[in-house]
Amino acid sequence: MKKLALLTSGGDAPGMNAAIRAVARTALYNGLEIFGIRRGYQGMIDGDIFKMETTSVSNIIQRGGTILKTARSKEFLTLEGREKAYRQLKQHDIDGLVLIGGDGTFKGANVFFKEYSLPAVGIPGTIDNDIAGTDYTLGFDTAVNTAVEAIDKIRDTAEAHDRIFIVEVMGRDAGYIALNSGIACGAEDILVPEQASDINVILERIGNDKRRKKLVNIIVVAEGDDFGGADALRIKIMEHLPELDVRSTILGHIQRGGSPSYFDRVQASRMGYAAVNALVSGQTQVMVGLENQEIIYTSFDHAIKQHAPLDMKMLEMAKILAS
Amino acid sequence: MKKLALLTSGGDAPGMNAAIRAVARTALYNGLEIFGIRRGYQGMIDGDIFKMETTSVSNIIQRGGTILKTARSKEFLTLEGREKAYRQLKQHDIDGLVLIGGDGTFKGANVFFKEYSLPAVGIPGTIDNDIAGTDYTLGFDTAVNTAVEAIDKIRDTAEAHDRIFIVEVMGRDAGYIALNSGIACGAEDILVPEQASDINVILERIGNDKRRKKLVNIIVVAEGDDFGGADALRIKIMEHLPELDVRSTILGHIQRGGSPSYFDRVQASRMGYAAVNALVSGQTQVMVGLENQEIIYTSFDHAIKQHAPLDMKMLEMAKILAS
Amino acid sequence: MKKLALLTSGGDAPGMNAAIRAVARTALYNGLEIFGIRRGYQGMIDGDIFKMETTSVSNIIQRGGTILKTARSKEFLTLEGREKAYRQLKQHDIDGLVLIGGDGTFKGANVFFKEYSLPAVGIPGTIDNDIAGTDYTLGFDTAVNTAVEAIDKIRDTAEAHDRIFIVEVMGRDAGYIALNSGIACGAEDILVPEQASDINVILERIGNDKRRKKLVNIIVVAEGDDFGGADALRIKIMEHLPELDVRSTILGHIQRGGSPSYFDRVQASRMGYAAVNALVSGQTQVMVGLENQEIIYTSFDHAIKQHAPLDMKMLEMAKILAS
Amino acid sequence: MKKLALLTSGGDAPGMNAAIRAVARTALYNGLEIFGIRRGYQGMIDGDIFKMETTSVSNIIQRGGTILKTARSKEFLTLEGREKAYRQLKQHDIDGLVLIGGDGTFKGANVFFKEYSLPAVGIPGTIDNDIAGTDYTLGFDTAVNTAVEAIDKIRDTAEAHDRIFIVEVMGRDAGYIALNSGIACGAEDILVPEQASDINVILERIGNDKRRKKLVNIIVVAEGDDFGGADALRIKIMEHLPELDVRSTILGHIQRGGSPSYFDRVQASRMGYAAVNALVSGQTQVMVGLENQEIIYTSFDHAIKQHAPLDMKMLEMAKILAS
């Protein structure tokens, strides 16, 4: 193995730049050449590929986003697209790939490997923390902290006005962000995609709070909850309790950006370092993961399966603590 | 003057607690008794009034929201409501008021004074910075910094994906937050209520950027812009340029909360201190303001008039600097 | 078990308030009475004990410090001191203790239990993350993030001036904060108490960087490093390389304060919840800990032993990535 | 005027990059060429000069430090140094200079102009806010906010332990940072270079607080205070009150770095824009300043004079509010 290429794919996540730095520096330290591919698989197809030096990754460990940019590529889903991509890589004599992204990224890598046998190692980078085979995906820690800082601010104004606030956080299929930000902010209710939500239970809880003259309520809802998000839930509550002052807010894309937390930077460094070492030592089609604080490797096949279920006991605990 | 009462009214703003602390401590230093009224004029009507000590305001200077809570009161708009309020104040022998809020607050004070001749001094507390007779209203500095931190994060992800992002900030009638956060974030376009927005100009600008391969665009729009906010603008742009990846996000109530900036805390301290000194020295029906960094006093009559126009030359400058 | 008492002891750490909230709410949920003891063991001796309600812990989950205050008590090291403490507890019919603190706290609890057989459960609260029997101690995550934000700022000015900056972080016996903040900030060197530091190695590295015209260097040093901290190291470097612009800064107590991160709040919530449940189910003289993301229990005897060694391979990795 | 050059000099300050961006973009908009000089006057002597394009300043408005780097140059104080510098500028046909820095920077510009008649306009960039002819110098707002965030954290731990904390902030000759951060944090005492500090007054105040059982005290001291900083003051207090737990911390260089606040970014944008417009319209040897929120111009001769005195009434107010 002499020449590696590196890309970021799927939604961006804080820590991707720290992983890029670690991959580049570790490759160079091992005497390899390292190439950056811009805009994920689409850039691979388009040949948007450049040689990286140690200074290419200076001063990026603390930056949000990804200097390699990211994109979703429909063309890579086609046979022709992947063929183009392969030819671009061969032009640079690339003999190994490091892929930072989510399960879509690793699915693509699996298909590509079957066709062209180019070794690839993956790094889980998604704020949702919902990939099997790892306790942690890059960006989650920062994203939850960002959500928590925002909800803390909303609580200030909720308390000043005795309002109920419904805050929608990211998570189409997974409630990790909602669960953790909800507990951390002392939310009175937390709604996640993994559990059916019952409007009557929510209304009863609000009713109880009213009787106790507890007029402030923060409800954290994942975007993938079956109510359909914060606005839908607000309308439903106000149908039943029109006298209440209920507001909703969607935190949105601020959760993806920002300078990564120390934890994201350290894990990104470890994962990037481990990914290159894995490729060099002959591993392929594996994702670097974290288990019990140690680096482990999982096959792409396993990683793209459904993630482990949310710990529902944490939801129970949250309700007890917010009572 | 022996007994003052203090309330916060209207939308909450960072710095209100710092002003409450300054009013209470200055009153006590001057040998006065000081009473807090909870929930603004409504609490005045309801008699939600309590005696404050120096420790009542310990450790609040750094907190968002308002420990006195705030509310809008329809009852205070009625003759009966104001009569009830006056009787509550008389029960505590209150002979002076400090009112922290916006122009609605000062309008109410004007009517109340005509009927009951109770001296009152106001402190401008609103994130919109749109009150006449002062260069500054409490909360503006913090709110713009909050917006800027959020937009910085959104730019990370906008750059990673080459997206156009439309960010809606607060400001129903005034574009101060939009103008200042837009300049500070290098927004490619800034839309404010004070100026008619032309979709063709916006589209042409985006088109120019496309030709220049500048694919990232941040458009900051005040909620009171004539397009009707971020979502409406996004739909309009995508009608004309369906191939673009355009997203919108509404920052919402996070702009009201959070620990106040040094500037908000210092100005709140100065204004609270000046408000009590003004009452003690016999002033009434005036709002404390800031002009050329000095404390000034303005009649409520003047303060509730329309604010000074936005500096449109700043908008021009913003476009030149973002080009 | 009917009446619990709760204290914080040793150095304060972010997340202690979140743990206090969880202990109080879980105790009340279980039908127990809960008492707060102010200023740790000293307050126990002095009888500074008060009954807590659910509202006693409202709105504290996001606050740094500890509402119960903390102190080190020499008197509790004496037989008489502990006897006084026991009598105070008996006056309130306390039949169980929750202790939030470090190994000194748990040592005290062990002695106290031998004498008075009062059941106690501990929660590890110290920013140093150096207690055996748990992967995590409350406050570490926040403290490292605080250090990282500060070092990021110092790097700005280091780069502007091509300076070498030595930053001293907390950690008298343990290098966890130094190691993790150093990796996260891309520090060129990281000095920890667990490893002998060689001035010649440091100088050689700086010399290499000079030859490579890399003039910015951040060296992170734990306060317990054998050089004796940042200032001592700065003087030593300047003796050998007087032409360099070397500065030192001691981050100090800012690392203890601040609003806790989501991770500290969630783990504090889990640990507080688990501590009460452990007491109720008959456990005693154990510390709640975290292992592989699950709650575990460890005897105080084990917890007060020396912590696990730092992962020295992480130091090697840090050097490769910063090269 | 066809070719401008731009440098940053003296200590770095947040907002310098925003000013660099504004100068470059405004110059290019006006059809001028713009050159960046690295490392201030020293880089001018060394010919470290490069042509800037609009993309040279992309994505820097939010960054601390200065992409042009800064340095102090002894060589520029000599006739030969300045001659070399002039020749370097002539090689690039530079016919105008924009200088971002403090009074040392403008003194140098004055001497240089007398010798070579090269027009120059200055922008005040220093966190100390102590330059005559302007209400504001770039970096002050961010620096005070950074100090305030740090002191807020220290208060958490001060309260938890009932300690007295002495916090040293920047300001060798000027107490602006100390005064404003002290008021904003509710410091019980604020010591500034502009006023003689009396240890007896400080001790009496602490004694009073002890009698009132107010055991937490934050004392903010400017580095240029006549006690000689935080450590010296701590030793002096402990000589007299050895039973107290007094700690000191020096905030140091974190105050110079970090992402600039909105206010610094907006004022930097305005000043950079105004500086180029001033040069183009024939002004020279003037510093751009801010007065009553409007851009004004002041001769370098005036700007390098002593700054206006600190508002001592603010110190009095601070004591009343912290009582």
D180 → chain B, closest CA residue = B266
Query: What gap in Å lies between CA A187 and CA A314, rounded to an integer?
Result: 13
Residue B139 has pLDDT above 80, yes or no: yes
**How many residues can be counted in chain D?**
323
Nearest-angstrom CA–CA distance, A289 and A300: 11
Give the mean model confidence (pLDDT) for residues A92-109: 96
CA torsion, ordered C70, C75, C76, C77, to nearest 10 deg: 120
The most distant pair of C-alpha atoms in chain B lies apart, rounded to whole Å, by 72
Confidence of residue B109 (pLDDT cuts 50, 70, 90): very high
Which neighbouring-strand residues pair with B3?
A: B33
pLDDT of residue C212: 67
| CA distance, residue C218 to nearest chain D CA (Å) | 13
Fill in the amino acid letter for B196: A
Q: Which residues numbered 147-166 in C keep a CB inside 8 Å of some CB on D?
A: 150, 152-157, 159-162, 165
Tell if the pTM clears 0.90, that is, is over it: yes
- DSSP characters for B139-168? THHHHHHHHHHHHHHHHHHHHHHT-EEEEE
CB B304 within 8 A of CB B110: yes
Please tell me the distance from the alpha carbon of residue A10 to that of residue A307, in angstroms, as a whole number: 17
Query: How far is A260 from A256, CA to CA, in rounded Å?
Result: 10
- CA dist., res. C52 & res. C48, Å (int): 13
What tokens does B12 get? 């909450």
Those residues with Cβ within 8 angstroms of residue A230's Cβ, 6 or more apart along the chain or in another chain = A166, A167, A168, A221, A248, A249, A250
Q: What is the pLDDT of residue A212?
A: 67
Query: Does position D212 have pLDDT exceeding 70, yes or no?
Result: no
pLDDT at D274: 98
Q: What is the pLDDT of residue B192?
A: 96
C261–A145 CB contact, under 8 Å: yes
Tallying the residues shown for chain B, one arrives at: 323
Give the active site residues of A.
128
- The answer to whether residue B130 is catalytic is no
Contacts of B184 in chain D (CB under 8 A): 61, 262, 265-266, 269
Residue contact D317–B263, C-beta within 8 A: no
B256 CB-near residues (< 8 Å, 6+ apart): A153, A156, A157, B11, B12, B13, B14, B64, B127, B139, B143, B170
Which one of C63, C156, C162 has the shortest CB-CB distance to D257? Answer: C156
CA angle, A66 as apex, A9 and B151 as ends, to 5°?
115
Rounded Cα–Cα distance for residues A76 and A99 (Å):
14
Region B204-232: mean pLDDT is: 86
Neighbours of chain A (3+ CB pairs under 8 A): B, C
- Candidates C113, C163, C149; CA nearest to C287 is C113
Mutate to test the interface with D, among C156, C167, C249 (most CBs of D within 10 A): C156
Q: Interface pTM (ipTM) of the complex?
A: 0.96
Q: Token digits for B147? A: 């917006």
Check residue D77 and report its DSSP letter.
G
Partners of residue A262 in chain C, C-beta under 8 Å = 141, 144-145, 147-148, 180-181, 184
Do strands A246-250 and A164-169 pair parallel, antiparallel, or not at all (unpaired)? parallel
Q: Which amino acid is at C242?
A: P
Residues near C273 by Cβ (< 8 Å), separated by ≥ 6?
A317, A320, A321, C22, C23, C26
| Residue D71, CA distances (Å) to C84, C146, C287 in order | 63, 29, 54
B63/A155 touch (CB, cutoff 8 Å), yes or no: no
The minimal CB distance from B184 to the residues D144, D266, D322 is found for: D266
Q: Which residues of B touch D262 (CB under 8 A)?
A: 141, 144-145, 147-148, 180-181, 184
Using CA atoms, how far residue C247 sits from A285, A318, C154, C158, C217, in Å, is: 47, 46, 10, 9, 10
In this predicted structure, what is the pLDDT of residue B212?
Answer: 67
Cα–Cα distance between C295 and C309 in angstroms, integer? 21
Q: What letter represents residue C165's amino acid?
A: F
Tally C-beta pairs within 8 A across C and D: 105
- Cβ neighbours of A75 (radius 10 Å): 15
**pLDDT averages per 10-residue partition of chain C, 323 residues:** 96 97 98 98 98 96 97 95 98 97 95 96 96 95 98 95 95 95 96 92 84 80 92 94 92 97 98 98 96 95 84 94 89
pLDDT digits (tens, 9 = 90+) for B10-49: 999 999 999 999 999 999 999 999 999 999 999 999 999 9
What span, in angstroms and rounded, lies between the C-alpha atoms of B110 and B122? 11
- Could you read off the pLDDT of B147-158 as tens digits, one per residue? 999 999 999 999
Do C121 and C97 meet the contact criterion of CB atoms below 8 Å apart? Answer: yes
Q: What span, in angstroms and rounded, lies between the C-alpha atoms of A147 and A144? A: 5
**Is A266 in contact with C61 (Cβ distance < 8 A)?**
no
**For the CA atoms of chain A, what is the radius of gyration?**
22
Give the amino acid at A285.
Answer: Q
Asked if residues A166 and A249 have their Cβ atoms less than 8 Å apart, the reply is: yes
Query: Residue C209: which residues within 8 A CB-CB, separation 6 or more?
Result: C188, C215, C217
DSSP D259: P
Q: Return the percentage of chain A with pLDDT > 70, whole number.
A: 98
Number of A–B residue contacts, CB under 8 Å: 108
* Helices D262-280 and B312-321, packing angle to 10 deg: 90
Q: Which of A248, A209, A221, A232 is nearest to A315 (CA)?
A: A221
| CA atoms of D158 and D46, how far apart (whole Å) | 50
Task: Catalytic residue, from C128, C130, C141, C264: name it.
Answer: C128
- Cα separation, B120 vs D187, in Å, equals 29
pLDDT 10s digits, D171-200: 999 999 999 999 999 999 999 999 998 899
Q: Which residue has the higher pLDDT, A209 or A202?
A: A202
d(CA A132, CA A142): 20
Pairing of strands A49-52, B246-250: unpaired
Could you tell me the domains of chain B?
A: 3-139+260-305 (3.40.50.450), 142-256 (3.40.50.460)
Structure tokens at A113: 């490997």
DSSP β-ladder status, C96-101 and C3-8: parallel
Closest to A153 (Cβ–Cβ): which among B11, B71, B258?
A: B258
Examine the pLDDT at D26 and tell me if it is beyond 70. Answer: yes
Q: How many Cα atoms occupy the beta-carbon half-sphere of D89 within 13 Å?
A: 30
Residues of A in contact with B247 (CB under 8 A): 253
Beta bridge partners of B189: B219
Output C208 or A55, whichever has higher pLDDT: A55
Q: Which residues pair with B35 in a beta bridge?
A: B5, B51
Residue D322 confidence (pLDDT): 92
> What is the per-residue pLDDT across D83-95, written as a single tens digit (0 to 9) for each?
999 999 999 999 9
Average pLDDT over every residue of A141-170: 96
**What one-character DSSP code corresponds to residue A261?**
P
**D146 and chain C in contact, CB less than 8 A:** yes
- Beta carbons of C256 and D156 less than 8 Å apart: yes
Is 90 exceeded by the pLDDT of residue D121?
A: yes
From residue A101, give the alpha-carbon distance in Å to each of A128, A139, A260, A283, C192.
11, 11, 16, 18, 34
Residues 180-209 of C with CB under 8 A from A: 180-181, 183-186
Contact A122, A109 (CB under 8 A): yes
Query: For the CA atoms of chain B, what is the radius of gyration?
Result: 22
CA D160 to the chain's CA centroid: 33
Contacts of A315 in chain C (CB under 8 A): none
- pLDDT single digits (tens) A9-31: 999 999 999 999 999 999 999 99
Assess contact for A37 and A45: CB atoms under 8 A.
no
- Range scoring the smallest mean pLDDT among A248-252, B6-10, B229-233, B307-311: B307-311
Of A135, A186, A261, the CB nearest to C61: A186
Going by their DSSP bridges, the two strands A33-37 and A49-52 should be labelled as antiparallel
